Structure formats: C-alpha cells, structure tokens
Structure 1
Amino acid sequence: MGMTVLTVGEVTKYIKQTFVSDPILNNVYVKGEVSNYIKHTSGHMYFTLKDKTSKLKCVMFSNRNRLINFSISNGMKVIVGGYISVYERDGIYQLYAEEIQPDGIGSLYLAFEELKQKLEKEGLFKPEHKKKIPALPRNIGLVTSTTGAAVRDFLTVVKRRFPGVNIYLVPVLVQGVQASEQISNAIDTLNRYSNIDLIVLTRGGGSIEELWAFNEERVARSIFSSKIPIVSAVGHERDFTIADFVADLRAPTPSAAGELVVPVKRELEVKINTLLRQLNFQIGRKIISNKEKLSYLKKRLYSRPEDFIYQKQQEIDNITKDLFRNLKSLLERKNSLFMRLVEKMEALSPLKVLSRGYSITRKYNDKTIIKDIKALKKGEILETLLYKGQILSQIIKLEEGRTEYGN
C-alpha cells in the first residue's frame, strides 16, 4: 500500500544522477595497478584498477588517450584522473579516465595538477593578461644557471642573430630546495630596472623532479606580477611547467627562445633598406608631381593674371544668367497654375451662377437659404439675391410641387 515502484532503468538513472552531482566524484584521482588492459580497434582503452581490497573498472576514450606518451601494460602502477559515473546499460559504475600518469611521480603530479587548476581558476593563464613581446628588445634579462647547456645555447643563438643585444645574466639555481626562491627573487629584481625590455627563464630538460622549481606557486606569482614580458623556455619541447602557462610566451627549448625573442639583424637591415628605397621613391615621385603642378600654376598666374579674374567673372555672369532664366521659367509656370485655379474658382463662384439668370432666395431674418417650401410659412419676409440687386418680398401663398423648367 502506497509503495513507489521504480523500473531498473529509473533506479540506474537515479544512481547516475547521484554520482554526477557529487563534486568529489566529478574530479578524482585514483591510483592502483592496471589489469585486464584492452585497447579496442576504435582506439578506446578499457582496463581495471585494483589494489589489495577492491577493483574499479575504467575506460579512456581515444580523444583522451592519444596524448599519452608512455606504454600501458598489465601490472603497471598508475594514477588516473577523471570522473566516476554509471554505465547505464550494464548498471555498473566506472572511472572515465581523462589523464593517466605512472605512479612513480604520483605526489608531484597531483601537486602539479592541483596548482594548475587553482591558478587557472584565478585567471593567471588567460590570454588577455599576456603582455606583448617586444619586436626588438635591446636589453634582455636572462634568469638561469651559469652551468649547463641552456645558457650557452641561448646566448649563441642571440649573438648570432643580433649581436648588438645586451644580455644581463642573473645566475640562479634551477633545481633543488632553494631554486624557486632564487628564480622568484631574480624576476622581482629585474623588474626594478627600467631598461630591461624582456626576461627569459630557461634551463635544460629533465625529469619532473628536476624541473619542479618552475612548478612552484611563488615563481608563478612572480611571473604574473612582472611588468616586464617574460618568455619561459624550460626543458625540452614535450616538457610543460606551470611557468609555461603563466608566462607571456612559451619557447619549446632554450635555443628556440633565442630565435623567438630577437630577429636576424641582417634580414632586418635588408628589410629596412628595402622600405627606405620604396619610401624615397614614393617621396621623389610626389615631389616631381607637385613641382609640375606648381610650374603649371605659375605659368598661368604670372603670364596673364587678369585672365584668372576674367574667367571667374564670366563664370559669375553665366551663373547669374542661368539663375534669372530659371527664375523666369519658374514664375511663368506658377502664374499659369494660378490662372487655372482662378478660373476653376470663378466657375464655382455663386456670382457666376447669378450672372446666368439664376437667383438665391433666403429668409430675411436669419439669412437661411430656402431649398424646400416646407421650411416657410405664410406672411414670412424673404430676400431674393439677383446678379444685380436684391428683392424683399412677403409670402402670400405657398404651393407644393416640383418646379418644372422650360419656356
């Protein structure tokens, strides 16, 4: 009595909605051992995560797993990020994987993702905050270690491309406990110098542990607060750090940074010389054209200056003549229209009717025009208007009937 009976599908949908509305299950990281791994012909990956007590089915669709840069196999310990939901057909819950990493970097990877999401929500990665990189920086602040290939690669490329650029090297540790503090302080220090046009952060490639200084929040905050544009060139092309996301420009390698921040001096000189030649040519053409116009005007003005005045006077006479001719024509058209209107008004005038032998009879006292004998009574005084003069009369007799016209 009074029981609510649900279908299997309704129960499954309710459970799925419960999963969807749970904020923890919508963004969760799970670590475990891979088993029952299958990569379908569609490209989708199916596997199970297990530990000593439980198992969790997982699916990772092809649009997500194509970004994985390592091979997955049974027995591998991994950390999988994604969301938990229900596969309605089978009524089972599973982890829909969006990212996966080997468990060897577990704690660092989780810290990286946590900080990345935090800073992204705050807007530190938004394009509208990116500062424009100067086309030709004269003074570049270089924040890196004095040892290693990165500094040599960057300096070699910059000096080869544009020898006149000044490089101010601020030596820092690029890995280890004190590295993030030194990098942050170096950025803040360079911002106190007004002559620095650009800052470049760089170091060579390495593991996530070795690059970790560039994933620290204090470094990210210093990059974002910098009034000077910053280029991040950390690690190899496939390495990404928090600094890369916050910086105004990311270079895949230190050498690539050198190519991005300065042009090739010789190419720039050739381009400038070409533009100068084009500019001089256009200026020359303009000067010659204006000289020819000036010479022509001088000849006209100084040979017979009165001709210019005479021409203008003649133009005024012609304009005046046209004006009076148009005015006369307009007056004639208006006068003709006026006369036609007068004729129409005269044809409708009561006097015109009276001139043809007709008269108008009206009551003498209130001037009401008589149209029907029923409006009159015996003895009443009438006034009859003729073309010339008027008659006063008194009604002696009234006779009804329609008036017949004729001789």
Structure 2
Amino acid sequence: MDNFITPSRPRALTVSELNHQVRHLLETSFMQAWVEGELSSFSRPSSGHWYFTLKDRKCQVRCAMFRGYNQRIRPLPKEGDQVRIRGKVSLYENRGDYQIIVEHIEPAGLGALQQAFEALKQKLGAEGLFDAANKRPIPFPPRHIGVVTSPTGAAIHDILTVLARRCPAVPVTLYPTAVQGQAATDDIVRAIAAAQHHNQADVLIIGRGGGSLEDLWCFNEEKVARAIAQCRIPTVSAVGHEVDITIADFVADLRAPTPSAAAEKISPDQQEWLRRLDELRLRLHQAVLRQTRRQKTSLEHLTARLRDPRRELQDKGQRLDDLELRLKAAIAQRSKTEVTRLDHLANRLLLQSPTRQLSQYQTLIQQLQERLQHSMVKQLQRRQDQLAHLGQTLHVVSPLATLGRGYAIVQDDRQNIVRQAGELSAGDNITARLARGTIKATVDSSFD
C-alpha cells in the first residue's frame, strides 16, 4: 500500500468559472441577432428593466431589456404580441440561464417605429404642414448660414468642407445640439429657437449623418417637426444618407439627401462666379471698344462738317477787300471819264470864243463842275454807304457778333453743341463759349 501511487487528476472548474466561460463564448459567437416570436411572461420591476420570454411552437428563450433601451419603445409590448427583437446572446451567470440582452423590440411585420412614423406623417400631413404652398424659397446666395447639428459629428465637418470649397466668404454659425438619444428632441428644438433669437442666419440647415432608424428617430418627433414648421428662417433638412426619410424632410422648406448635398444646394460656386465675372469683364471691354470706335467715327464726321468761324471771317474779309478794290477802280474810272469830258468841253469852248458864249460856258462849266463834284460826292457816299451796309451785314452774320450780343455757344461734355434744353439732364456738365472767355457749369434742371 505504501508503494501505491495515486494518479494525478485534471483541475475541475468552479461553477462560476464555467458560467463565465460559457457567457464569453456566447457573446463572442453571436455579435448580434434578430429573433422573432411570441412575447410571454412579461414583467416590469421598479428598476425599469423588462424581463420576458420569447417563444415559438417548440422552444423558448429568456430575454432582458434594460431601461436605457426600453424608454424609446412605444407602444408598450404586452403578453401574446408577436414581436421581433434585436440583441446579443448572453448568459446570466448567477443562475446559469441562457438569455438575450435586447436592444430593440418591434411588432412583427411593420415595426413600432415605422408605425409611429406613419401615424405622425398622416397627422401632420392632414394639418397641412407638408403642403408645397407653405414652402418658403431658400435665399440664394445666402448672407449667413446657420447649422443645427452635433459639433462633433461628421455632418458639420462635411458641411464646412463643402462651404469652404464653394463659398468661403459666407459666414456659418453652428447651433450645437445632440442628434441622438432621449434628450436630443428637446435639444434640437432649443437650438432652432436659439437660431431665431440670434437673428443672423437667413437659412438654417438641420440634420446629422447617417444611422439606424432608432439613431435618426429624434428627427421623427412631433416637437421637432413643429419647431421646423414654425421656424421663421427658411430651413433645409439634411438627415442621414440619401435613402433615409424623416418627418423633418417633409416639414422643412427643402430636403437634401445628405448634409454635404445641403451645403451644395444652398451655396453658390465661387469658381462659377469667377468664370462668369471674367466673361462679363471681357464682354464689357469689347463693348467699350465698340462704343469708343463709334464715338470716334461720329466725332470725326462732326469735325469735318463743322466750319471754323475764323475761316468764315477770313472769307468775308477777303470779299470786303475785293469790293473795296472794285469800288476804288470804279471811282477812278468815273473820274477819268469826267476829266476827259471836261477837256472835250474846254476844247469846244476854245473853239467858240465869243465872250457871251464864253461866259455862258464858264457858267455851264462851273455848274458842271458842281454837278460833277456833287455827283462824285454822292456816288462816293453811296459807295461808302454800300460798303458800310455790306460790312454791317457781314458783321450781323458773324458768330462773334452773335456772341457779342450776349449769346453763347453751349456744348455738353462730349463737345456736342446743345440746341434744345431737352438734350440735357440734371447733373450734366456743360461749357458755354462767350464773346470773351468760356464758362464751365453743371445743369441743375432743364425745361423745354
């Protein structure tokens, strides 16, 4: 007996160790599962947790749904309901009971959240909150953009990235809020009210990034829907991904499939504006060149038609000199003719020497001389009067004489001669040329 050696035995697990290992195995093998069955043995202790059994015709499984998850479930489940649950497979180590830790529960068929969604959609739609007539236009381009979302989520990052690329000059104000969980509903309503009180943004983006229906549920709450509908600022709903539809999408003035798309829709593209500005600058430059050419051609044409007053005076002066020379030549010719005639009479007188005839002829000669003198004086006076009349006529038609009588030649700032008051407007600059000097003035008013 002393030589008998007892063989070594394997170490036995304690019940706690076994249950712990089984729990770890279950939780790592089943990350998450959807299970459908009939709800029974439903209990709600004072802790707020739910405990029930899910069964079908052959088997059953225990379930636990803790207070943090069941507070959002409406309506409350009851005995005999056919439900779908989502949760993690686990083990309650103290009793060694296999169970499911439930995170979500909904009626089999159409889910509870979907039922609540459809009920609220029908209610608000009947009140007219979705009517197109109530949709306000989104200002474009916006002067100031407000964003109601989480300060740490992907949505604000996407929105700011798009706006920085498209229109960095437009200011953006974030009205931070929770966008998931029980407190998010009231938080979003307060953020919308804060944006209106701030009174700076002329368009408000309300949204968040993608998630499950439960994650997005705060945007399906009636409080949020009515806050958006009553908001004085035009609103853009940008909740989730393109396939996600919320009540906020129906109530807002504009729905965007994503936060990035919302920023794209309400913001101008500065590159397009710069391209358009370059195009307009080129068109303006070409128009100015065409107008300049037309004005230059018109000015050259008017310059060719406009006669210099000095040239006109030179022509009149030359005409006056010509008349003066002709008058002097006529007087000289007439004098020469009279002298010749006088010589002829003297010769005849010499031929008739009787004293009486001599006396008569002397008297006649004296009369003829007086007549000649009178005729010459009269002719000279008539020529001088004619010359004075021509000079006066020339002076009357002279532009300088017109200016001397108090008139002025008025030109606008393009050197065009102004003939009617209607050609000028208040504020136009004019130049008035007088007999002596020039006046520059600005028109206060004009009357025809």
TM-score normalized by structure 1?
Answer: 0.46
TM-score normalized by structure 2?
Answer: 0.42
Q: Which structure dedicates a bigger proportion of its chain to helix?
A: 2
Bigger Rg, which one: 2
